[in-house]
Amino acid sequence: MGRVLAAIAALLLTSGVAQAADPISYGTSTQAVVPLHDQATMDWTGFYAGVLGTAGPDAFGAGIALGYNVALGFGLVGAEVAALGTQSDDVLVGSTQVLARGGVLVTDQLLAYGALGYSAEFGDDGADAVLVGGGIEYALNPDVSMRGQYLYGDPIGEGDAIHQVSFGANFHF
């Protein structure tokens, strides 16, 4: 009987040592999140070219725009030149606009900006105007953004005030 007790004691002592050497592990309730795609952030600095449609109280039109932006942290400054064709009362009017833009990057993809500039109309009754307004621009991806903009034009000399709403797409290079 003494041998049986010695064998049980030896078994218990060796199994206890083996259990003490086992690593201790804990389960966790969090799971790793795997992104579905790699979303690249928008780099607003650089050249862009765009197309836009315009509307006013009694006019509508279309145009093209060329510009350059510089992102400064969460801010942005830029300049833009646009050529527009507008139809009003069966009269087609061409104009150019030169704008300075300054804004804030609300997110990496959303820009809110103000604009100040000058507009010149072509033709016999061409009217010039000082422009002020603003808009928002949203980057769909690093190469394409959509925007909406409102400009008020105060005529220089004779003429009616300009109320121009435009929507467009810009292609960034």
CA of residue 127 relative to chain centroid, distance: 34
pLDDT tens column, 38-61: 455 789 999 999 999 998 778 899
Give the CATH fold of the 46-172 domain: Porin (2.40.160)
Q: Residue 38, class by beta-carbon neighbours within 10 Å (0-12 exposed, 13-18 middle, 19+ buried)?
A: exposed
Domain parsing of the chain, residue ranges: 46-172
Residue ranges in the chain assigned as alpha helix (H) = 2-21
| Full-model pTM | 0.73
Amino acid identity of residue 94, one-letter, is: G
Amino acid identity of residue 147, one-letter, is: R
| Residues pairing with 66 in the sheet | 49, 81
Q: Residue 162, class by beta-carbon neighbours within 10 Å (0-12 exposed, 13-18 middle, 19+ buried)?
A: buried
pLDDT band at 31 (very low <50, low <70, confident <90, very high): low
Alpha-carbon gap, residue 107 to 41, rounded angstroms:
10
- pLDDT recorded at residue 41: 78
